[in-house]
Amino acid sequence: MSDMLPAATSVLALHVGRARERWEGKPPSAIAKEPVPEALDLGYEGFSADEQADRKVHGGPEKAVHHYPAAHYAWWRERFPDHEDVLRSGGFGENIVADGLDEESVCLGDRFRLGRALVEICQGRQPCWKLAAHTGIAAMAGAMQKSGRTGWYYRVLEPGSVAAGDEIAIQERPLPDWPLARIIAARFDPRIDPRLAAEIVGLAPLSQSWRASFVKKSDASYAEDTRARLSGPGA
């Protein structure tokens, strides 16, 4: 149970990007994002200046903002020292970077005042092959999934402007028994107890895409095939 609410923190960096061709023979991507110093409008489907190349799996109301904990970058650099140049703020295609919050200290459904906007945690990140292509680390998508250091997505409950330096302050914690780390571990556990999966299905703040995944995982006969997501088209 996570009864202790995290202290307010602030946005260290705000990143957005445009979709473009990145890799020959592969779909375009907007994973390469750059920091912006000015305030941006955050609407129900994300920042006004941000893009997603494949709207079927990126962006939308339940992936409006991707938040990544700043403390994780050093952890990744220790494991992949030859790629220090990309394992930095914004290196994973995230929008928001902040200290003081991580997958263990936040819970599914936590609501935060993010600048002038109000947002709610609705799922972790589901890393895909584009992360490996972007970082140049072939094992990156699988490594992020295994580590649980995925960051998370917010849905927007109240639009508003957000800028680097703005406060991130928790407003409400409806599910203290469900730290996000527990949800992420369950999502990627191929041997999850179907009863646990069924329990997670009933959590109201959960995104529809992750709810659908847990519905499948509540069937003991279901076996998820992650090859295409982790390794790319044709895997």
Please report, for the domain that includes residue 44, its CATH number.
2.40.33.20
In a domain, 4, yes or no: no
Per DSSP bridges, beta strands 96-98 and 65-69 are parallel
Per DSSP bridges, beta strands 167-172 and 9-16 are antiparallel
In a domain, 1, yes or no: no
Write down the pLDDT at residue 106. Answer: 98
Q: What is the pTM of this model?
A: 0.95
Is residue 32 exposed (0-12), middle (13-18) or buried (19+ Cβ within 10 Å)? middle
DSSP character for 234?
T
Is residue 4 exposed (0-12), middle (13-18) or buried (19+ Cβ within 10 Å)? exposed
- In this structure, what token pair is assigned to residue 16? 């957005």
What are 145-164's pLDDT values in tens digits?
Answer: 999 999 999 999 999 999 99
Write down the pLDDT at residue 26. Answer: 83
Q: Is 167 helix (H, G, I), strand (E, B) or coil?
A: strand
In a domain, 122, yes or no: yes
In a domain, 220, yes or no: yes
What is the helix (H) or strand (E) element at residue 231, kind and residue range?
helix 227-231
Task: Compute the average pLDDT of residues 172-187.
Answer: 98
Q: How many domains does the chain have?
A: 1
In a domain, 46, yes or no: yes
R_g of the chain computed on alpha carbons: 17
- Cα angle value 61/155/186 (rounded, 5°): 105
In a domain, 2, yes or no: no
Write down the pLDDT at residue 234. Answer: 62
In a domain, 107, yes or no: yes
In a domain, 74, yes or no: yes
Report the C-alpha gap between 60 and 69 in whole angstroms.
22
Segments forming the whole domain that contains residue 107: 9-231
